[in-house]
Amino acid sequence: MVANEVPLTPLSFLQRTARVYPGRTAVVYGERRWSVREFHGRVCRLANALRGLGVGRETKVALLSPNIPLGLEAHFGIPWAGGTVVAMNVRLNPREIAYIVNHSQSEVLVADGALAAALEPVWGELGGLRHVVVAEDDLAGPRQGWRPPRALAYEELLAGADAGEPPPAVADERQVIAINYTSGTTGDPKGVMYTHRGAYLNVASLVMENGLGPRSVYLWVVPMFHCNGWCYTWAVPGIGAANVCLRAIDAARIRELVLREQVDLFCGAPVVLQMLASLPDAARFRFERTVRACTGGAPPSPTLLAAMRRMNVDVTHLYGLTETYGPSTICEVQEDWLRLPLEGYAEKLARQGVAHYTAGEVTVLDRDDRRVPADAKTLGEVAMRGNTVMAGYFRDPEATGQAFRGGWFHSGDLGVLHADGYIELRDRAKDIIISGGENVSTIEVENALLAHPQVEEAAVVSRPDERWGEVPVAFVWPRAGEAPSEAELIAHCRERLAHFKCPKAVLFERLPRTSTGKVQKFALRERLWQGQVTRIKGN
């Protein structure tokens, strides 16, 4: 230890908050409330208990928890014991859970009681686990289902542990604090490594950009397992703001909690905003206080922005990947945008924006890793380098090297660079449609469809075509009580887009989504390309 340097870690934020604001509300869950002093004490007990179970430097501890206090406590308690958080998607099937537990080499598993039953079919395959800790949650309903043999009870474990603050467990700020697994849509999921340093710096960006402070109230909508809740799991408790936990997503409940707890901020995919806009009385409802909502995964459509504006919800557009600690850019709103008509404002806000305060560089590169011209037309790959890019993929040096080629992290997203330095996503590299030699941006077509007043959701993917190689096809879900025809929607697109970009067919059905609200385009593509030998066409 030296006088002018200490390792950067988000754990230090909670240490300070516990000293300065011990009496403030830290967690709200149902009718229960924890003060900062109580939350800090539970985190310390968890850290000491885990150390008693043998957790030390970078011991992997798997976590299976919805957006409840358990998830917040684990995000501090596990690294405070020296361990690494491996937060798993609660909607994974047993086989996928087993893969992550085994690949991450997790030795301890902390699981919500209602989710523990998912382990039964694969229990015999989890030989690396030395301990399983199960936390029962009264709000999940009566205890049901299988429990792992010899499982430790979470509350009993905490009750028997020392409540004193453990000694520092972070000697090196580049120590891995978390491993987050990608969705694995193109193969086995990859383990993305976050460091204490990266998490600390990303938290600093979140606090600055959102004006978070000890009087803020944050509602947990984005899953805590998704990029560690976009790193808000450390930011919100660390800064002393109140965490309002929500076990399951329900639009009416979200609105109720925003009103009851005077929520300032929540985060989530655009589908969450659409759920709020689709409540029966949404057209007549307006929050008295402005509520901020950060959204990512897809640009908010003009129609959705108009609905949010009527409800007094201020939408911030973010962009990032698991490999960039969640959102890495923010579409900072310029003053002159506010004077634009809604369509013009939405067009500006649809851009992915500029790098976070601590992120480093975000740009668009050509195939030779040179920056594309800032002409808003030249397509390239979005790339990042800086403090909040992953340390690498766990146990996968080949994939790490490929992702970091040329000194940049290559996102796989295609975009353009505007003259003002803002980036704009045009598509995933795998989603771009090349029809008759012309590039078709699925996002552009989706935005055209979403501009139709009878359309609630839309996704566009390619379908094989003998003449053009591939053509765009739209999957659409109408608004309640509406029934637009295929011909009507195609004609609507033709009024707004070049004809080669317009969908050649429209299918009406609900869109498959991931647990974080992103549309599973790969599943739609699989259906349309079934039986094809190759997806690379010559046109």
Please tell me whether residues 61 and 145 are part of one structural domain.
Answer: yes
Residue 24 placed within a domain: no
Strand partners of residue 459: 475
- Domain range for residue 443? 433-529
- At 343 the pLDDT is 87
Residue 294 placed within a domain: yes
Least confident of 52-66, 178-192, 260-274, 348-362: 178-192
- At 500 the pLDDT is 81
Q: Which residues contact 406 (CB under 8 A, 6 or more apart)?
A: 365, 369
- Residues 453-473: what's their mean pLDDT? 89
Q: The domain that contains 495 carries what CATH number? A: 3.30.300.30
Rounded alpha-carbon distances, angstroms, from residue 185 to 296, 323, 427: 19, 15, 16
Distance, in Å, from the CA atom of 217 to the CA atom of 297, rounded to the nearest integer, reads 23
Does residue 363 sit in helix, strand or coil? strand
Distance, in Å, from the CA atom of 213 to the CA atom of 529, rounded to the nearest integer, reads 50
- Residues 86-93: what's their mean pLDDT? 90
The pLDDT > 90 percentage for the chain reads: 78
Residue 183 has pLDDT above 80, yes or no: no
Please tell me whether residues 437 and 421 are part of one structural domain.
Answer: no
Buried b / exposed e across 477-510, counting CB within 10 Å, b at 16+?
bbbeeeebeeeebbebbeeebeebbbbeebeeee
Q: Of 133, 164, 194, which one is at a domain's C-terminal end?
A: 194
Beta strand segments in 310-444, E = 313-321, 326-330, 354-355, 361-365, 380-385, 392-393, 409-417, 423-428, 433-435, 438-440
Residue 94 placed within a domain: yes
Please tell me whether residues 76 and 170 are part of one structural domain.
Answer: yes
Mean pLDDT score of the chain, rounded to an integer?
92
Distance, in Å, from the CA atom of 486 to the CA atom of 505, rounded to the nearest integer, reads 7
- Residues 10-22: what's their mean pLDDT? 97
- pLDDT tens column, 26-60: 999 999 999 999 999 999 999 999 999 999 998 99
Residue 491 placed within a domain: yes
Residue 437 has pLDDT above 80, yes or no: no
- pLDDT tens column, 206-264: 999 999 999 999 999 999 999 999 999 999 999 999 999 999 999 999 999 999 999 99
Please tell me whether residues 385 and 515 are part of one structural domain.
Answer: no
Does residue 253 sit in helix, strand or coil? helix
- At 537 the pLDDT is 37
Q: Of 194, 225, 243, which one is at a domain's C-terminal end?
A: 194
- At 534 the pLDDT is 34
Please tell me whether residues 58 and 175 are part of one structural domain.
Answer: yes
- At 258 the pLDDT is 98
Please tell me whether residues 407 and 442 are part of one structural domain.
Answer: no
Please tell me whether residues 517 and 452 are part of one structural domain.
Answer: yes
- At 184 the pLDDT is 53
- At 539 the pLDDT is 32
Residue 438 has pLDDT above 70, yes or no: no
Residue 482 has pLDDT above 50, yes or no: yes
Distance, in Å, from the CA atom of 45 to the CA atom of 77, rounded to the nearest integer, reads 8
Please tell me whether residues 340 and 475 are part of one structural domain.
Answer: no
Please tell me whether residues 286 and 363 are part of one structural domain.
Answer: yes
Helix, strand, coil percent content, the chain, rounded in steps of 5: 35, 25, 40
Please tell me whether residues 75 and 137 are part of one structural domain.
Answer: yes
- At 368 the pLDDT is 94
DSSP classification of residue 165? P
- Residues 148-154: what's their mean pLDDT? 96
Residue 363 placed within a domain: yes
- Residues 324-340: what's their mean pLDDT? 96
- Residues 183-199: what's their mean pLDDT? 83
What is the total count of domains within the chain? 3
Q: Of 428, 459, 493, which one is at a domain's C-terminal end?
A: 428
- Residues 89-111: what's their mean pLDDT? 93
Please tell me whether residues 331 and 450 are part of one structural domain.
Answer: no
Residue 281 placed within a domain: yes
Q: The domain that contains 275 carries what CATH number? A: 3.40.50.12780
Question: Which of the pair, 142 or 20, is modelled with greater confidence?
Answer: 20
Res. 532 pLDDT band, cuts 50 70 90: low
Q: What number of other Cβ atoms are within 10 A of residue 238's Cβ? A: 27
Residue 467 has pLDDT above 80, yes or no: no
- pLDDT tens column, 339-377: 999 889 988 998 999 999 999 999 999 999 999 999 999
Residue 255 placed within a domain: no
Residue 330 placed within a domain: yes
Please tell me whether residues 462 and 359 are part of one structural domain.
Answer: no
Q: Which two tokens stand for residue 460?
A: 């566009």
Question: Is 374 buried (19+), middle (13-18) or exposed (0-12) by CB count in 10 A?
Answer: middle
Question: Which of the pair, 179 or 434, is modelled with greater confidence?
Answer: 179
